[in-house]
Structure 1
């Protein structure tokens, strides 16, 4: 059975920013929502609309060796410039491929910020309620 990336779970605005007891929240990054999958040295990087983003962000392939095989993450692609998030640097990347994408990757490298661990070493982790103290270490790579 082939595992495929699911659609991302999108954030929703709330009227009260207070969190219920036992809850936590992550920052809202100024980037592009993306799903990343590492399988046998192959990177799949998909936008929430399904667009293949991998050719536009060749620098993100370098992180594959940091992930166990058959791992998938939900997160955001961001670019830093002068100590701030630079969304405008992402906007010109989507249509870039080959040498043009490689040049921009050197000039304004993108980073992937993971929000959720969807699959780890082939084990589907969606739909499993895990308390944050147990889930967060796996997301941060302390899964052994």
Structure 2
């Protein structure tokens, strides 16, 4: 029988993007962080900037805000496809959960999130700019890393 933990945080906690090392893109930093926690050292920040196109393409718009990179654009166009294809290139399955799905099944997804954290695996947040790394009070309080710092949600 497994008892549910009240609080937990994964052991690997550090900034997701280190700008002083030339890292600029949140999506690639979050993906790298997950792979690091899985023990996959070959799938680093630069690997993800390559497979998302961010390493090779400057992305600007004259008419509207388009976030910070090609990966942001691709994510906005079709988030499920972007997430699934990005991690498939590493041999991993990944699922994007929409806001509507999350609202309709909040208890199930909260349980899944805490189970991943209990296994030491962070979960990337919906906008791909934050990573859930822990929880308090049986998941009523979620702990996250943004691209710069740790905070409670």
Which structure is higher in helix share? 2
TM-score range, shorter chain: under 0.3
Query: Normalising by structure 1, what TM-score?
Result: 0.27
Which structure ranks higher in relative contact order (CA pairs < 8 Å, sequence separation ≥ 6)? 2
Which structure is higher in strand share? 1
